[in-house]
Amino acid sequence: MTYPSSSSPTLPATDRQPRDSNHLIMVVVLGLVLLAVWLAPAAVQVSAGWFPVALHSICEIFAITVAVLVFAVTWHSYRPGQPSNLLLLGCAFLSIALLDLAHVLSYRGMPVFVTLSSPEKAINFWLVSRVLTAGTLLLISIRSWRPLTSSTPRLPMLLAALVMVAVIYVLGLFFPDVWPHTFVEGMGLTPFKIAMEWAIIGVLAIASVCFWRARRSLAYDANGLLAAALISILSELCFTAYHNVNELYSLTGHLYKVLSYCLIYRIVFVSSVREPYERLAVEIADRQAAEKRIEVMSFYDTLTGLPNLALLQDRTLQALVSMRGDDHPVVLLFLDVDAFKLVNDSLGHAHGDDLLRAIGERLREGLPATATVCRYGGDEFAVLPTGPVNADDIAKVPQTILDLLAAPFRIAGQAISTSVSIGVALAPHDGEAPAELLRNAETAMYKAKQAGRKTWRFYSAAMNLEVSERLQLLNSLRQAIDQHELTLHYQLQFELGSGRIVGAEALVRWEHPTQGLISPDRFITAAEESGLIVPMGDWIIQQACRQAAQWRASGLDIPRVAVNLSPVQLHHHSLEAVIKQALSDAGLPASALELELTESSLIEDTEQVLATLISLKSYGIKLSIDDFGTGYSSLAYLRRLPVDTLKIDQSFVRGMTSAADGHAIVEAIIQMARSLGLETLAEGIEDQCTADELLRLGCELGQGYLLARPVPATVIPALAGRLRG
């Protein structure tokens, strides 16, 4: 019997069903055996050789042993929550064992047991034992199987059982005359003896009915007790029919009695010992599973299933301890996924998580099984190769990782190409504690990002100063956005043939309160890496639209204003809404705004980018490709883009007069644009020879220091007037 709680013992149905079937089969078989005995010839039944005194003693001693075991198990397995009926059954069976002992010692042929042995003396002890057995089964069949409480009188119950046995012993040994006659020599059993056996059968039958009605109860093994009661009935039927204590009926009855005792012992043992042990085993297994879950939650990342930072630090510490006295360094690599924010912004966070899982799985499968691959957090991973790594092989580890991640990932039905920037720190040179080693590897990773991404760098002490400066720059940039320290300068754009002003490019400037003017190359890159480029870019679009509208309102003819879009902005979900709102707030027509897109941003996630550009173009906004020639756009892809202008990168323009290949590149770009029906605008025009050559090659537009330098918006009206004049 098993228990759902300490107050409700139950037996699992899956275990009970086959056991119930076995009980039924046993009772049926024993009934058929008794039928066979009843049908046997009388001469066979009454033969005195069936049940000699020695065999009787063996049967009774076995029954006594089993009865004592029933008591021992129920008494010594006492625990809170145990059904009180088990203790009642145990104390009763201790009494039954002592009465059966008196019965066997009083049996004909046994030595003197205080007084002379005789059939009636043995039967008297026997009858009391059988009455007690039947009465106990009846009592526990009608009594509630409530849990044993601390107030349950265990010792008084045991003392009551022993006192009852002592009284029976005294009456049986010293006052035989108070007992009714149960056996007459030569005639057999008396009517009283037979009536008592039938009365016992009746009590057992009532108990059987109660057990039958409770057979589906989960409170206790009612079916097992039902089988024990039915077997006891079969035993009693034998004891109503014998004429000689040594005949076949007597043997059969004793064997059935032993079987019923064994069945009761099995029920008690299962309930008191085996099932608590099984429950304990289940509880231990559950606790181990819970501890395993806690370990997984504590030391493993829930998204990727990889070890987390806590486990990485533990294994790094073990590696550092093992390293002592060894010439081989401990290698720790810090990985950051390049441009991961673009994936999140374009595909959504769910598919971003899919990409992180795929990266983790590829690292785990591609690196040696002994290496610890950890998800540090966000889009960052760490790798701790275990075992000695030779100095010559250290550089191979980050390169292996780059090669593993070179193939595209299939995410949401799209092929996503990604890369990682890797920082490498070596112990003990770069740190002797896990946190220090990890921090320095992260510092080296940022240096790898600055070097162009998809690469790796070893840590050096000089990097800490750079990282500190970078953090200060980011903090200052956040304040600059909030405190309006950023301003826009504008560089006019011209038609090379006529000198007519065709537009103005908005260029952000940052005048730091203490550091002065900070180069855009420094803070734009930091803004893109930190995500600050989105709020900064939104502000630039709003300011440029507002300024263009003011120029128009004052009568200044500047047809359009150009604003640079970073790749992060282009992939951000709010871009279109921000642009449309800025145009609406300023009252500026969409055709007066030009968005300049870097060539590299157009070849990442091409389908999503193309959809965004088509939507912006349909709204009337002008589109141009900035720094054209520095990326890897194909002619076929350019044909699909709804752009209006190609801006030739200034590095090619400045090299036109000094290098033949520079001149050839510019000429090729102009011819390509003409074939696609696009305008060309040359950046970085600094001398008249370059301007004349561009015009000769067919370049329509230009900007540069020769034509006009970037100036504040307040200077533009005067500058435009002077240039026109």
Confidence grade of residue 456 (pLDDT, cut at 50, 70, 90): very high
Lowest-confidence segment of 8-22, 257-271, 488-502, 529-543 by average pLDDT: 8-22
For residues 255-279, average pLDDT? 81
Residues 54, 78, single domain; the answer is yes
Give the separation between CA 41 and CA 281, rounded to whole angstroms: 54
pLDDT for position 440: 93
Q: Is residue 560 part of a domain?
A: yes
5 pLDDT above the threshold of 50: no
Higher pLDDT: 74 or 166? It is: 166
pLDDT for position 687: 92
* Tokens 């035989």, residue located: 176
For residues 3-19, average pLDDT? 42
pLDDT for position 149: 61
Q: Is residue 390 part of a domain?
A: yes
* Tokens 């039902």, residue located: 226
Whole-number average pLDDT of the chain: 85
Give the separation between CA 693 and CA 703, rounded to whole angstroms: 14
Confidence grade of residue 98 (pLDDT, cut at 50, 70, 90): very high
pLDDT for position 713: 94
Q: Is residue 157 part of a domain?
A: yes
Identify which of 357, 379, 381 has the alpha carbon closest to the alpha carbon of residue 371. Answer: 381
Give the separation between CA 506 and CA 494, rounded to whole angstroms: 15
Q: Is residue 297 part of a domain?
A: no
User: What's the per-residue H, E or C state across 329-352?
Assistant: CEEEEEEEECCHHHHHHHHCHHHH
pLDDT for position 489: 96
284 pLDDT above the threshold of 50: yes
Confidence grade of residue 18 (pLDDT, cut at 50, 70, 90): low
Q: Is residue 12 part of a domain?
A: no
Residues 58, 176, single domain; the answer is yes
Residues 692, 546, single domain; the answer is yes
Q: Is residue 301 part of a domain?
A: no
Write the pLDDT tens digit of every residue in 519-549. 888 888 888 877 889 999 999 999 999 999 9
Q: Which of 460, 480, 508 is the last residue in one of the domains?
A: 460
Identify which of 173, 157, 177, 175 has the alpha carbon closest to the alpha carbon of residue 95. Answer: 157
Domain of residue 641, CATH code: 3.20.20.450
- Largest distance between two CA atoms of the chain: 154
What are 552's two structure tokens? 């128009």
pLDDT for position 113: 84
Q: Count the helices and strands in the chain (H runs, E runs).
A: 27, 21
Lowest-confidence segment of 110-124, 416-430, 498-512, 607-621 by average pLDDT: 110-124
645 pLDDT above the threshold of 80: yes
Q: Is residue 172 part of a domain?
A: yes
Give the separation between CA 433 and CA 314, rounded to whole angstroms: 11
* Tokens 């032993």, residue located: 258
6 pLDDT above the threshold of 50: no
Residues 535, 671, single domain; the answer is yes
Residues 317, 407, single domain; the answer is yes
| Percent of the chain with pLDDT strictly greater than 70 | 90
Residues 492, 453, single domain; the answer is no
What are 328's two structure tokens? 């081989």
Identify which of 211, 263, 220 has the alpha carbon closest to the alpha carbon of residue 93. Answer: 263
179 pLDDT above the threshold of 90: no
User: Are 540 and 563 spatial neighbours (Cβ–Cβ below 8 Å)?
Assistant: yes
Domain of residue 133, CATH code: 1.20.1070
Report phi then psi at 656, rounded to 5: -65, -45
Residues 269, 411, single domain; the answer is no
pLDDT for position 12: 40
Q: Which residues contact 144 (CB under 8 A, 6 or more apart)?
A: none
97 pLDDT above the threshold of 70: yes
Residues 652, 630, single domain; the answer is yes
C-alpha distances in Å from residue 256, one per residue of 27, 49, 108, 240: 10, 19, 21, 14
pLDDT for position 402: 93
Confidence grade of residue 76 (pLDDT, cut at 50, 70, 90): confident
- Domains contained in the chain, number: 3
What are 711's two structure tokens? 């100036």
Write the pLDDT tens digit of every residue in 654-668. 888 777 777 898 999
Q: Which of 460, 486, 507 is the last residue in one of the domains?
A: 460
Q: Which of 460, 495, 514 is the last residue in one of the domains?
A: 460
In one letter, which amino acid is 612? T
Confidence grade of residue 279 (pLDDT, cut at 50, 70, 90): confident
Identify which of 308, 430, 428 has the alpha carbon closest to the alpha carbon of residue 375. Answer: 308
| Percent of the chain with pLDDT strictly greater than 90 | 40
pLDDT for position 8: 37
Residues 360, 485, single domain; the answer is no
Identify which of 660, 670, 678 has the alpha carbon closest to the alpha carbon of residue 694. Answer: 670
Work out the number of other CB atoms within 10 angstroms of the CB of residue 629.
Answer: 19
Confidence grade of residue 2 (pLDDT, cut at 50, 70, 90): very low
Domain of residue 402, CATH code: 3.30.70.270
- Calculate ∠ Cα 68-71-72, nearest 5°: 85
Residues 442, 523, single domain; the answer is no
Domain span at residue 652?
472-724
For residues 121-150, average pLDDT? 85
Residues 104, 195, single domain; the answer is yes
Write the pLDDT tens digit of every residue in 184-243. 766 767 888 888 889 999 999 999 899 888 877 766 788 888 889 899 899 888 888 776
Q: Is residue 609 part of a domain?
A: yes
267 pLDDT above the threshold of 60: yes
Confidence grade of residue 20 (pLDDT, cut at 50, 70, 90): low
Write the pLDDT tens digit of every residue in 294-347. 777 778 998 999 999 989 999 999 988 887 766 678 999 999 999 887 788 777
Write the pLDDT tens digit of every residue in 666-686. 999 999 999 989 999 999 999
Residues 445, 485, single domain; the answer is no
pLDDT for position 527: 86
